[in-house]
Each structure stands twice: as C-alpha cells, then as structure tokens.
Amino acid sequence: MGVEKYDARILQVGMIREDRTSGLSFSIPSLLRGFEKNGIEIDYLNIKENGLRLSVGDLVLKSYDIVVFHSFFIIQHLFVLLKLKRGTKVIVTPRGAFTNETTFIFRKKLFSFLFLKLIKMRNLNLRIHYLTQNEKIKSRFQEFPNFVIGNSIDRESLGVSKTLRRGLDRGLKIVYMGRFHTYIKGLDQLIAHILKFKESYSNANIEFAFYGPDSNDRREFVRAINNSAITNVFIREPVYGKRKEEVLEQADFHILTSRSEGFPMAVLESLAKGCPQILSQGTNMLPLLEEYQFGVEFNDNLFSYLSNLTDDIYCKLSQNAIECARIHSNENIARKTYQEYLK
C-alpha cells in the first residue's frame, strides 16, 4: 500500500541513550525504520548526542515545517522551540508524561509552563500524539488537539503461536522484563499479590522470574523476597537480543503491573513472541487487551484464572498476541503516524 508524499519537512527530536532497558531506545528507532520502509524521508535529532549545542544550527531548524518531540521533560526541547520558525507545527509524544498518575513536582510544573509559554510566544501550533486512548483520557492537558496511535515493532521479529510451555499440571512461568522501579512499575503491588496468594502459587508450581538491571529498587525488591521466604520468585540479570527472545519464547505469560505507562514496548515485544499478557489498569493497555483478547487483567482473580486455563484457550491467547503485534508493525504504524502529522 503506497503512501502519498508531501513536501513538508519533518524533524523528530528525542533522546536515545545506550540503555537497553529504556523503551525509547527501541520505540523511536522502530518508528524511524517504519518511515524508511514506506519511503518517507524524516530527519532525526538525538538530543543525547547533540546536548545543548544543537549542532544542526538555527537555519536548519528553521527549515522544518513539523517538529516532533518524543517524551516531554527534557530541557533541550525548550532550546529547540526557540529556534523554530513561527507557525511551525509542533507535535509532542509525551509517552505517559501527561497522565495524572505521574508525580507532578514543581520542576515539572515549571517546565510545562515554560514549554507552553514558548508555544504561545512563538505562535507554534501544538498537537499531542498519545499512544493509547487511556493515556489521552488520563492526560492533564485536555485542551490541545491530539491523536492516538500506538508504538510499533519490526514485522521480522514476529514469532509463532505456542501451547503452554509445561502444561498446567506442571506449573507456569510468568516473566517480568524491565527496570526495577517500584512505584511506576507497580512492583510493590505485584509482591503484595504474590504474598497474598503465596501458598496457592507455590502449590500450583507457578513461578515468577524478574529480569532487570541493578538499582536501589532492585536491591529492595530482593530483600523483600528474601524476608518473605518466597521460593517461587526468581531475580535474574537483564537479557537482551537473542537471549531475550529465548526467555520470552519459553515463558507462559508476560506480566506488567505499572501505575502509569505510555505504550510499553515490553508488552509489544512479548506479544510478538506469542506470549499472552497479565496487565494492570495503569499500563493503559486494557482496552487493547480486551479488543484482541491476548491475556488477562492483573487483580486478585489472577490465580483463579490461571488455574482454570485450558490449552485450547491458551493457544488462542497466543495467536491473538501475535496478531496484535502484526497490526502494530512499524510499516503500518509509521504510515498512519505520517498521515496524522500532516493534518
């Protein structure tokens, strides 16, 4: 399916660190690859590499008709706004930064005030790109024009559907992959749940494996597990690339109990491997889960749901997971996103 091209010059602005646990390190490059697959020319400025110098220069920045900011609370974005020509269309993809659940401290309030003040002073046209409908509904900025399109993934990463890895009679493996951020990722809620149903999960041989880098929260998490004498929770080092794919292919479920998310790449990556999901309301993914039927909501009914799961139902969940990932291939998402940029 071809894409009608326009003369509008578009610049994407983001901060990609050498941090393989950051969703931005995967979601932005995936979107850029999607534009390329569609033959759409879009430039990218990595704030991490350019810093405050913004070496692309004033004249280059002033040549763009549309500038897209990925994430929000990044001081360099203010300097970019100062260099744009008046009337430039500005699109912000906040990636969860606008939701009411996030902590809105004074520094963030000040940044928001300055950003919006510059938008008005420079006569820039602001539009917001939300990743999920729930993120839009929960946004503290309801007054601005917006659109909703999710993250994307390479079609080449899609796997095949699967049956239960071990079968209910031999237990299940549930994996978490990401940062050990206790509050944002809702890990305190997850541990409380595991403790509440400790004997049930243990007797059913249902294990939880957590993969993520070292941090203070990770060490606190390990202490909480050890102090509670939980024997079916395992803390692992982070995995990447081929090893990450292998872990997901061997897992029965992927779990995410976050309080606030944009469109978590961990969910999309695990869906692509046919891995059904256990997701909290705070992930903002429940409407998508309901639409595609690729998993279950995280709540106190989880153990009962898993106990009554049949192989046929599981196979369907796995098939639905891959279909959802297919719909979110970067060719499809980039095409839709480009069309929204031009409106």
Q: Is the pLDDT reported for residue 22 higher than 90?
A: no
pLDDT, one tens digit per residue, over 25-34 is 788 899 999 9
H or E element at residue 14: strand 10-14
Distance separating alpha carbons of residues 200 and 95, to the nearest angstrom: 36
pLDDT value, residue 297: 98
Q: Judge residue 45's burial from the number of C-beta atoms within 10 Å of its C-beta, 0-12 exposed, 13-18 middle, 19 or more buried.
A: buried
Helix (H) or strand (E) run with residue 248 in it: helix 241-250
- Residues 249-273 have a mean pLDDT of 92
**Taking residues 88-109, what's their average pLDDT?**
83
3-7, 36-40, 72-76, 90-94: least confident range: 3-7
**313 plus 176 within the same structural domain:** yes
* Residue 175 amino acid letter: V
pLDDT digits (tens, 9 = 90+) for 185-197: 999 999 999 999 9
Residue identified by tokens 């995936």 is: 30
Token pair belonging to 311: 């192989």
Which residues, 6 or more positions from 192, have their beta carbon under 8 angstroms from its beta carbon? none
What's the total number of domains in the chain? Answer: 2
- Model confidence pLDDT, tens digit, residues 295-330: 999 999 999 999 999 889 999 999 999 999 999 999
The reply to whether 20 and 142 lie within a common domain is yes
In a domain, 144, yes or no: yes
User: Is residue 296 in a domain?
Assistant: yes
pLDDT of residue 289: 97
Instruction: Give residues with Cβ within 8 angstroms of 207, minimum separation 6.
Output: 171, 172, 173, 174, 201, 232, 233, 234
Residue linked to tokens 């979110």: 328
Assigned domain for 86 exists: yes
Domain identity same for 316 and 273: yes
Tell me what pLDDT residue 258 has: 94
146-155 mean pLDDT? 95
Question: What is the average pLDDT score of the chain?
Answer: 89
Whether 205 has a pLDDT exceeding 50, the answer reads yes
pTM of the predicted protein model: 0.86
Q: Are 78 and 46 in contact (CB under 8 A)?
A: no
Which pLDDT does position 290 carry in this prediction? 96
Q: 170 versus 203: which is more confidently predicted?
A: 203
Q: Are residues 303 and 336 in the same domain?
A: no
179 and 301, same domain (yes or no): yes
Tell me how far apart the alpha carbons of residues 66 and 79 are, in angstroms, rounded to a whole number.
Answer: 16
Residue-range definition of the domain harbouring residue 48: 10-152+329-341
Percent of the chain clearing pLDDT 90 (strictly above) = 66
Residue pair 255/175 in contact by the 8 Å Cβ criterion: yes
- Average the pLDDT over 252-277 and give the result: 93
| pLDDT surpassing 60 at residue 335 | yes
Distance, in Å, from the CA atom of 134 to the CA atom of 67, rounded to the nearest integer, reads: 24
Asked if residue 308 and residue 260 are part of one domain, the reply reads yes
Better pLDDT: 66 or 16:
66
Asked if residue 217 lies in contact with residue 182, where contact means CB atoms within 8 angstroms, the answer is: yes
Q: Per-residue confidence at 52, pLDDT binned at 50, 70, 90?
A: very low
Shared domain for 100 and 182, answered yes or no, is no
- Rounded (5°) CA angle 256-323-169: 60
